[in-house]
Structure 1
């Protein structure tokens, strides 16, 4: 006798096993629907009426037990027959757990085709009979509804209340919802209220109130989704923003599936909302970091280019040493800034990095508070300190064991004042012309940072005073570089390394 075919859902992560089940069950003449994961099975269940579910116990992400628990939480699937297939020996405790999760039977592996067909056939027939009874019962309800409007209304509300109860799809920042396309009624679960930042007790879910929570620039997404469903689309996904009552903007991704009546008209839309704000923020941080890295790399290359272009020396070895020293100084401050995610650098750390190669013993004394420098200020000041240390090691206090160096600094009213005082070294004479180191120090401090550099070539040792603003932002790299090169170019032919 011809009968209406029912849908049998086969769930297994291994294609070979799914194919084997299809071959075994093909003789039943029913509709076989396959799903390769628990999540795919849930999507099928939301869109299709299923009579029997054949599910593998061992699967990644959602195993058979977890999938069964999620299916049973939804009112539409509380009586759906589920048969577990297990490739391992199932203990009584495992069987009991399976029955508690909603299983109606177990089939061990290797599967005996005749046994599997017989079990599935029994439940398929039971489902068919149940559906026939439901149809007969519906006819009876229609007669009663025609006579008693109050009873019909009460029954409809009870059914709608059960159907609209949201299924807990996953823990975390997710929510599910149902929208009755005919009446316009909405039903949200707790996750949906939490995402939108509203109180279930005080918030009425209706199209107007929902639209009011959407970001003004994303309201068209809702209109577009409605238009797509009216055109016959059965599934829709989009990203959108919401504005919570407290003003916080959150990013979400929404997935919706439509249910149609026999005439193809949409009667209900169910969906899931996922809060992806943290992912969006991470993407923004990543993009910002990429741009920052590009910007910093260009700055570093520009400085290195200047160092190579402007450094002069009488012989190649001296030239190489001078260039390497300056680029190493730039690399050291780059490392310090990288460790702070380019938030800034401590002045004392810059000084420690520069004096480390000299093993000064008791020759150097430092005195000053902790001062945080902006990245651009730290880079420029690091190169200036490198020139002072290099000059002192070649010609000044650090060139002899008897020499002494005192570096002191203080910060007041957003102005850093650093004093460099050398004593006990070789006798100092005021230079007839400034070398590249002195000129580059002046150019970087004055042109790039808007500060001042003063030199007093005392006979007992150099006294240098640097004044640097702490809050002023440096000029764009290209402009600052032009000033730097312009200030050093007149004496390039006479400059020493």
Structure 2
């Protein structure tokens, strides 16, 4: 079932940046509200329920810090999540100032779309869950009031409440209980027994037995609740873990309310327990995703740094074109991998992406089965294919309309063999020395993938053969996300 959309306020005085944020955040499926100034943002906040505010630090008239201060002065927005975007280097004092104003995070420019989406998604989900919890609290208060009225005035109201409770029990996610504060007697409904993984026939509800089912680290929560009610607290809520008799650990949220006599003495405590294990697991998956996004970003930056550091050219324009081409090739394979949740990429898709910039008609023939590549293999092979296409477009068969290129591949014994055969282009001369593209291709395929790259500079056109193992774990990245030192050294030698 689709979740209820929340409103995300984007505040920036530059329309182009607002449009960029809209494009980045559109896939979250939330409502994006636009404000081009601090004053416009304040007007929207008074009219609209906002979950997250994304605000530019540097704006005329009312900057991000001043806007945050004005927002926090209003009682409605004291807990609204605000994320600052800054295109300038922010000092520690400015960061402190921002956090004092209620900022939950800073995002530097240029913005990494995946990171920004992950941050916004976390706070949007947190806002949604907070609202859900508020609704649960309201339901509990309504239920306690309804039960009191039902017991005193109407059995019909009691029947209606029991029907709602039965629905919760059927779902297996909610249970209710009552504790006679004077006699010490407990009453659990069927849902409560189900959550704790015990049965009424074999489990006696008393403080000692209940405490035995609590996670050792959460036992103090029960003691704290009792102490709070003794101090006069009328309602209490907490999250805790239980360990069922079969050893399964479950997360719960417990909400309790006290009934007092005429002398304000607690005589009964009633409560609701909700199994939130699935929600907790979802939060863990979200945190894992955030860490994965950070890991992927570091890997991409490491590869980009190596490309920039190792690219060589005699002129600035040639250098820029070479770097842009390699970075774009890396970006294309990242897009393919992201669509598969980083499970892998099809070889034919990599080739199609590299072909896209060229209008070649029928100059290219492709032949080969579907081959699924591991992420690290796909990254390295995409850069190698980029070098081959670039060189062919500049000097080889793809530089003329009469040229032809045949790319074929096959898999045998978990080894991918790819052949690149050019013909019909300019007369080919065996180069006296290998250029950076050829040397980096050799280094990446042989060092990073543990394969082989062979070149035959025939007069009628280049013949290249790549052999790449499909099962060996590549060494392009380490578990910390850093570029492998051995591979980097190979590329260093290739650039020399």
Displacement of 1:372: 2.3
Displacement of 1:384: 1.0
- What root-mean-square deviation, in Å, do the aligned CA atoms of Structure 1 and Structure 2 show? 20.5
Displacement of 1:385: 0.9
Greater shift, 60-69 or 304-313, is seen at 60-69
Displacement of 1:436: 0.8
Displacement of 1:134: 36
Inter-CA distance 360–21: structure 2 relative to 1 (3 Å threshold): closer
Distance (whole Å) between structure 2 residues aligned to residue 430 and residue 107 of structure 1: 50
Inter-CA distance 197–90: structure 2 relative to 1 (3 Å threshold): farther
1:448-469 alpha-carbon deviations (Å, 9 max, x no partner): 2333322233333322222333
1:422-473 alpha-carbon deviations (Å, 9 max, x no partner): 2333333332221111111122222223333222333333222223333444
Greater shift, 53-62 or 357-366, is seen at 53-62
Inter-CA distance 359–247: structure 2 relative to 1 (3 Å threshold): farther
For the residue of structure 2 that corresponds to 1:301, the secondary structure is: helix
- Aligned partners of 1:57 and 1:65 also within 8 Å: yes
Displacement of 1:354: 0.4
Q: Which runs of 5+ in 1 are unaligned?
A: none
- Aligned partners of 2:397 and 2:426 also within 8 Å: yes
For the residue of structure 2 that corresponds to 1:148, the secondary structure is: helix
For the residue of structure 1 that corresponds to 2:343, the secondary structure is: coil
Greater shift, 487-496 or 379-388, is seen at 487-496
- Aligned partners of 2:417 and 2:466 also within 8 Å: yes
Q: Which runs of 5+ in 2 are unaligned?
A: none
Inter-CA distance 329–131: structure 2 relative to 1 (3 Å threshold): closer
Displacement of 1:345: 1.8
Greater shift, 207-216 or 388-397, is seen at 207-216
Return structure 1 stretches of 4+ with deviation > 6 angstroms: 1-172, 262-265, 483-497
- Aligned partners of 2:11 and 2:55 also within 8 Å: yes
Greater shift, 394-403 or 430-439, is seen at 394-403
Greater shift, 160-169 or 192-201, is seen at 160-169
- Using structure 1 for the length normalisation, give the TM-score: 0.58
Distance (whole Å) between structure 1 residues aligned to residue 320 and residue 112 of structure 2: 81
Distance (whole Å) between structure 2 residues aligned to residue 478 and residue 106 of structure 1: 28
- Aligned partners of 1:440 and 1:484 also within 8 Å: no
Distance (whole Å) between structure 1 residues aligned to residue 491 and residue 120 of structure 2: 92
Greater shift, 294-303 or 53-62, is seen at 53-62
Distance (whole Å) between structure 2 residues aligned to residue 413 and residue 190 of structure 1: 58
Displacement of 1:111: 57
Greater shift, 119-128 or 209-218, is seen at 119-128
- Aligned partners of 2:150 and 2:156 also within 8 Å: no
- Aligned partners of 1:444 and 1:484 also within 8 Å: no
For the residue of structure 1 that corresponds to 2:54, the secondary structure is: strand
Inter-CA distance 420–48: structure 2 relative to 1 (3 Å threshold): closer
Tell me which structure has the larger Cα radius of gyration. Answer: 1
Number of equivalenced pairs:
495
Inter-CA distance 272–49: structure 2 relative to 1 (3 Å threshold): farther
- Using structure 2 for the length normalisation, give the TM-score: 0.58
Displacement of 1:117: 56
Displacement of 1:333: 1.2
Distance (whole Å) between structure 2 residues aligned to residue 391 and residue 266 of structure 1: 84
Greater shift, 155-164 or 306-315, is seen at 155-164
